[in-house]
Structure 1
Amino acid sequence: MTAFDADDAAAFIQSYVDDHGFLSFLDLEVEDVEEGEMTMRVPYHEKLANHGVGRGNVHGGIAATLIDTAGGLSVRTALDDPVEAGVATIDLNVSYLRPARGDLVAEAEVVRVGSTVGVAEVTVEAEPHDNGDEDEAYEVAVGRGSFRVFRSD
C-alpha cells in the first residue's frame, strides 16, 4: 500500500485479526479505518464476562486488549508503508471508568508518530444489550499506548 486507502487498510487489518489466535477468539471486528484513526469492536459474549462478584461484566482485560490493539494498529496506519512496517507495545496505560456490559467499541487516534515511537489515545465504550441497566453507549475505559515503530525502509 503506497497511498493510504481506507478500504484496503480495513481489509488488511481484519485479515490480521482473523489470523491472530487471541484476537480471533475475541471475535474482534474492524469497523472503521482512517489514516491515524481506527474503530474496533468486541461483541459481548459470556466467555468474556466475569463470574461471581461483577457477574456479567466484561473482564477488564478485554478493554485493555482493545486499547493495545486499536492503538498499535492506528499507529501503523499512520506510517508510509503500513503493510510492511510493524509496531510493538512499549508502554500501555489503562484507566477503568465503569463496569462494562455489552459490546465494547474502541476508538483510537494517533497523537504522534516519530522516527521510532508512536503514541495513540483510545476510548472504549460499552454498547449495552436490551437486558442491561443502560440504554445508550457509555465510556468504560480510556488509555494511551506507546509503540516502537519498525519501518520497512
Structure 2
Amino acid sequence: MSTEGYEPLAAQLSDHGLLSWLDLSAVDIEQGRVVFELPFDEKFANIASGSVHGGVTATIIDTASGFALRTTFDDPTDVALTTTDLNTRYVRPATDDVRVEAEVVRAGSSMGVTECEVTTVHEGERKVVATGGTTYRLFRDAN
C-alpha cells in the first residue's frame, strides 16, 4: 500500500484543522480508492461505552469518500465537490484503531458515488464496524 503519486493529496489531511485533530492518515491512495487510518483516542469515545463515537465514524466515511472521488479529477488537490448524501450503517463497536476504505462506484461529469467499509481489530481479527457510502456533487468545470 502506498500514497505514491498522491503525496500532495495525502498532505491535505494534516493541513486541515479537523482532519489533523483527528490524526487521520493516508495508508493507500490510488485511482478511485483510498484507505485511511484513525488511531483510537479517548477523545473520540462515547461517554458510556468507550467505543468510537458514531459521528467520528460517519466523518471518516465522508472524508475518505471525498478523497477517493478527488482521485478521479485531473488535479486531485484542486477540486470542487460537496456531499449530497451520506449513509452509515453501524455493525459493531470500535474500541481500537479504525481503518476506512472508500471505493468509487461511479464518478460521472456531475455526480459521484462511493461505497465504504470501516474495520478495526476486534478479538484479534480485523472485523467490520461500519459500512456506508456517499453521493457527491462534482463540479468538474469549476476550476
TM-score relative to the length of structure 1: 0.86
**What's the CA shift for 1:85?**
2.2
User: What value does the CA root-mean-square deviation take over the aligned residues?
Assistant: 1.6
Contact 2:9/2:77 (CA < 8 Å) preserved in 1?
A: no
Name the CA distance, whole Å, in 2 between partners of 1:136 and 1:13: 30
Task: Find the counterpart in structure 1 of residue 14 from structure 2.
Answer: 18
Task: Find the counterpart in structure 2 of residue 49 from structure 1.
Answer: 45
Q: Percent identity?
A: 44
Name the SS for the 2:5 alignment partner: helix
Task: Give 1 or 2 for the bigger CA radius of gyration.
Answer: 1
Counting matched residue pairs gives: 141
Structure 1 residue 144 and structure 2 residue 138: aligned?
A: no
Name the CA distance, whole Å, in 1 between partners of 2:36 and 2:78: 21
Counterpart of 2:113 (choices 90, 95, 119) is 119
Task: Find the counterpart in structure 1 of residue 62 from structure 2.
Answer: 68
Structure 1 residue 8 and structure 2 residue 2: aligned?
A: no
Contact 1:105/1:127 (CA < 8 Å) preserved in 2?
A: no
**What's the CA shift for 1:145?**
0.3
**What's the CA shift for 1:66?**
1.1
Task: Find the counterpart in structure 1 of residue 34 from structure 2.
Answer: 38
Q: Show structure 1 runs of 5+ residues with no match.
A: 1-5, 129-133
**What's the CA shift for 1:127?**
2.5
Contact 1:104/1:124 (CA < 8 Å) preserved in 2?
A: yes
Counterpart of 1:101 (choices 95, 103, 107) is 95
Name the SS for the 1:8 alignment partner: coil
**What's the CA shift for 1:14?**
2.4
1:81-96 aligned at under 5 Å gives the runs 81-96=75-90
**What's the CA shift for 1:87?**
1.8
Q: Show structure 2 runs of 5+ residues with no match.
A: none
**One-letter code of the match for 2:39?**
P
Contact 2:44/2:52 (CA < 8 Å) preserved in 1?
A: yes
TM-score relative to the length of structure 2: 0.92
Name the SS for the 2:133 alignment partner: strand
**One-letter code of the match for 1:140?**
V
Name the CA distance, whole Å, in 2 between partners of 1:73 and 1:94: 17
